[in-house]
Amino acid sequence: MLGGSVPVLIAYGEYDTTANATPDSGDPLLTFSVPALYDAITGPHRPK
């Protein structure tokens, strides 16, 4: 699980909203929310 036994590093800035593709790519598998991904990762050492 990400953030548990698998270390994860996510760095994003104030204006970063999507990763892997531009928002207009049309393919939802290639466009996802960086903040939502960060929020989905749990773990004892995750900064809030």
Residue 37 in contact with residue 19, Cβ under 8 Å? Answer: yes
**Cα–Cα distance for residue pair 48/30, rounded to 1 Å:** 26
Residue 21 DSSP symbol: S
pLDDT per residue rounded down to tens, the chain (48 residues) = 555 666 767 777 777 776 666 666 677 666 677 777 778 877 776 666
In this prediction the pTM is 0.45
| Distance in angstroms (rounded) separating the CA atoms of residues 23 and 6 | 28
Number of compact structural domains in the chain:
1
Domain that holds residue 9: 1-48
Q: Are 17 and 23 in contact (CB under 8 A)?
A: yes
